[in-house]
DNA sequence: GCGAGCTGAAAAACCGTTTTATCAAACTTG
DNA sequence: CAAGTTTGATAAAACGGTTTTTCAGCTCGC
């Protein structure tokens, strides 16, 4: 009857497909999943019927029998989302084709909230959990070890026997330092964050090993204000001021660039500046736009997605820390050729 | 056997609870859900057993019978997450206590990707979808009407017969303008975004209605660069420059503040500046930090969560546009008393 | 010409809950 | 005290799929 169609627009079940195709439910299921044995003709007939009817299997029912929900949880404490969003985008990209969806949970350093969300995820039978955060060496306020589901740590610290993904701070800093040396810079200073961060130490170490004896490192907060302050310190000093500054993040770099402009020092003519993070909103809005180290967070997310998928499927994954390479994005704060990569580092296209 | 515990750590089912409590599965279910009829003693016994065993119901199985997954989808095309993350936080806050989890899907203005994600959501039987985006009057590249599940539009444009939540641009702009007048400012200019945006027109209209005849509005892109450019225009002009500038967003405001400083114009002593969005990362890092209009996106998210929940439960919700009030956050770019609200507008505490 | 082996498909069991129908025992009521 | 009504609890049927088991009909070998 016509009115049946109109009345409810009921979702059609595999039962309907089976009936229309003239086979049993079991056969329909096997036909659609390319399992079991049957005439190729039967299989095709079922598939065509399903397509014609617009059949979409109920993921809940499927999850119940297969013990897989095709769902994963993403836990983060990064409120601004500047690290989480690129990671999330990568994860999503890696998983959407597999039919896996992502629960996002922001937990803001609140242990109770975190526990609540983890419980909710487990109730929803997630196939795995990816933990991510604000900085590589900071932990989430929740213990994810001993869970019944696999866990991958991406851009956040986890237990030593866990599967962990981080960006290669060492290599990123080395590339930046070498780039500055390659531009002929002589007096290079590293203005970075608090030395309580492991990644700060790693970058500083790599920086010093490239630059050598004359390397100088200044620590301070992760803020624009610190960039201003650092420039004031450097230009106040007795010895000649630097001709290049490698900054620990883009905010510091922006502060440095602004301070230099106000001081009448030309960037990049007199001083080259490199940032870290490639946080487009900051890097592209600086004057001049910042050459900066991109941590490839989206790729890191993709890899995290692939790994959690493998684990969810029961395939073995070697535990340990995996480092993913950083990439220097060249804009205009450094001088030197404007590489093709300049494209993607281009103007911030807002809204 | 001990080894059974260790070997599998199998999830315990309602069946186990029933067996241990010495009742049937049906009774156990009813006891735990506070439905059906039974001795209070029985109910308590079952509940205690469940608690002792650490029973957690399988959400998939529950979803299958109840036709509710306790899951909703959040669709967005806001890549930077500056609007989406606060909205998401609000939604999550409103729903976590109800046991509802959120699928986040970033679709980046890609219609095919959007369709893919929507299909995935529908397969997962989401109880509803919340659409959100970058700007109130921009649409997502996907048609959500006629879906089997309820939809709420938050901070993005939807069909006229939909449930829609937006911030009250009009009121926000009015508050800002009145605040400036209250400070005794005489020559107030509105430097804002492209006039193709409905919210730009709304704010400009409200601004003009408050300021009156002498109101002046300049349109340009949503960028810091436009802030610089606008200041150049205003100070180049014949007539006396403004003593207050109300900006269409915080990026423009930051550009304006920077340009004024470079020009030697004191903010807030000579010119008051107000931004829009309260994007902390920009507003708090400006020198001086920006007084700005906060759109209360988190509260908007909370309300969206409440509404989608009502709809999911089948309760009626009046369709139409709901406007939520904006709030002026006072920092230092304006002069005037530094209200208590200054606290939460405080320094950006990074990492 | 009759059991063994294979093939294609149906029937039945299962996943872990909720919900409906059923039922014995205890409790009213006239 | 027999008939009707509550009460407390159980067995069984959903929910919408997948997976295992069963089985009838052929083909083949000896």
Q: What is the pLDDT of residues B142-185, one digit of tens each?
A: 999 989 999 999 999 999 999 999 999 999 999 999 999 999 99
CA–C1' nearest nucleotide, residue A37: C8
CB B268 within 8 A of CB B331: no
B351 closest CB neighbour out of A60, A71, A135 = A135
B92 → chain A, closest CA residue: A105
CB B285 within 8 A of CB A249: no
Footprint of strand C on the protein (CB under 7 A): A 22-27, 36-39, 41-42, 61, 64-65; B 11, 13-15, 25-26, 29-30, 32-33, 35-36, 55-58, 61-62, 64-66
Work out whether strand A291-294 and strand A327-329 pair parallel, antiparallel, or are unpaired. Answer: antiparallel
Which contiguous run of DSSP H or E holds residue A229?
A: helix A224-236
A59 closest CB neighbour out of B81, B124, B224 = B124
Write out chain A's pLDDT in tens, 351 residues: 333 333 345 789 999 999 999 999 999 999 999 998 899 999 999 999 999 999 999 999 999 999 999 999 999 999 888 899 999 999 999 999 999 999 999 998 999 999 999 999 999 999 999 999 988 888 899 999 989 999 999 999 999 999 999 999 999 999 999 999 999 999 999 999 999 999 999 999 999 999 998 889 999 999 999 999 999 999 997 788 999 999 999 999 999 999 999 999 999 999 999 999 999 889 999 999 999 999 999 999 999 999 999 999 989 999 999 999 999 999 999 987 544 343 443 343 344
Which contiguous run of DSSP H or E holds residue B314?
A: none
How many of the other CB atoms lie within 10 Å of CB of A198? 15
Return the structure tokens found at A305.
Answer: 């997605």
Which contiguous run of DSSP H or E holds residue B297?
A: helix B297-312
Taking Cα atoms as reference points, which of A171, A183, A174, A170 lies closest to residue A273?
Answer: A183
Yes or no, beta carbons of B124 and A102 under 8 Å apart: no
Rounded to the nearest angstrom, the minimum Cα separation between B331 and chain A is 17
A196 touches strand D (CB under 7 A): no
Rounded to the nearest angstrom, the minimum Cα separation between B282 and chain A is 9
- Find all residues with CB under 8 Å of A212, minimum gap 6, and list them: none
Distance CA A100, CA A95 (A): 5
Distance CA A15, CA B243 (A): 73
Protein CB footprint (7 Å) on chain D nucleotides: 7-12, 14-20
Distance CA B231, CA B228 (A): 5
pLDDT value at B206 more than 50? yes
How many of the other CB atoms lie within 10 Å of CB of A4? 9
Distance CA A119, CA A192 (A): 38
- Find all residues with CB under 8 Å of B12, minimum gap 6, and list them: B53, B54, B55
Return the structure tokens found at B323.
Answer: 């406007």
Distance CA A345, CA A224 (A): 21
* A43, A46, A47, A49: CA torsion to nearest 10: 160
Residues of chain B contacting residue A121, judged by C-beta atoms under 8 Å apart: 101
Yes or no, beta carbons of A56 and B119 under 8 Å apart: yes
Place of tokens 């002929």: A184
Q: Report the residue count for chain A.
A: 351
CB B109 within 8 A of CB B53: no
CB B300 within 8 A of CB B272: no
A106 closest CB neighbour out of B92, B125, B223 = B92
Yes or no, beta carbons of B101 and A120 under 8 Å apart: yes
CB A230 within 8 A of CB A191: yes
pLDDT value at B338 more than 60? no
Taking Cα atoms as reference points, which of A121, A257, A20 lies closest to residue B96?
Answer: A121
Say what percent of chain B tops pLDDT 90.
84
The model's pTM is: 0.91
């Amino acid at each position: 009857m016509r009115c049946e169609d109109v009345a409810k627009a009921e979702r059609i079940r595999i039962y309907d497909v089976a009936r229309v195709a003239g086979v049993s439910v079991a056969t329909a299921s096997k036909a659609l999943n390319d399992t079991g044995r049957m005439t190729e003709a039967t299989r095709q007939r079922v598939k065509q019927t399903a397509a014609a009817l617009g059949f979409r299997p109920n993921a809940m029912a499927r999850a119940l029998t297969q013990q897989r929900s095709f769902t994963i949880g993403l836990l983060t404490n990064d409120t601004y989302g500047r690290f989480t969003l690129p990671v999330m985008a990568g994860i999503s990209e890696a998983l959407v084709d597999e039919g896996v969806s992502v629960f996002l949970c922001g937990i803001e350093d609140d242990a109770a909230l975190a526990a609540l969300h983890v419980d909710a995820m487990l109730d929803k039978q997630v196939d795995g959990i990816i933990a991510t955060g604000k900085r590589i060496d900071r932990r989430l306020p929740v213990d994810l070890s001993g869970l019944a589901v696999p866990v991958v740590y991406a851009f956040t610290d986890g237990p030593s026997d866990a599967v962990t993904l981080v960006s290669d701070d060492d290599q990123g800093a080395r590339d930046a330092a070498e780039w500055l040396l390659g531009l002929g810079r002589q007096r290079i200073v590293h203005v970075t964050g608090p030395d309580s961060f492991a990644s700060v130490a790693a970058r500083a170490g790599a920086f010093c090993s490239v630059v050598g004896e004359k390397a100088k490192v200044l620590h301070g907060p992760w803020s624009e204000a610190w960039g201003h302050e650092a420039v004031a310190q450097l230009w106040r000093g007795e010895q000649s001021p630097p001709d290049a500054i490698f900054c620990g993040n883009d905010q510091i770099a922006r502060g440095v660039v602004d301070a230099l402009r106000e001081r009448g020092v030309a960037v990049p003519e007199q001083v080259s500046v490199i940032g870290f993070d490639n946080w487009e909103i900051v890097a592209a809005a600086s004057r001049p736009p910042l050459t900066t180290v991109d941590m490839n967070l989206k790729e890191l997310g993709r890899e995290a997605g692939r790994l959690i998928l493998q684990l969810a499927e029961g395939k073995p994954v070697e535990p340990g820390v995996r480092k993913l390479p950083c990439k220097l994005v060249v804009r205009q704060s450094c001088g030197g050729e404007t590489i093709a990569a300049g494209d993607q580092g281009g103007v911030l296209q807002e809204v």
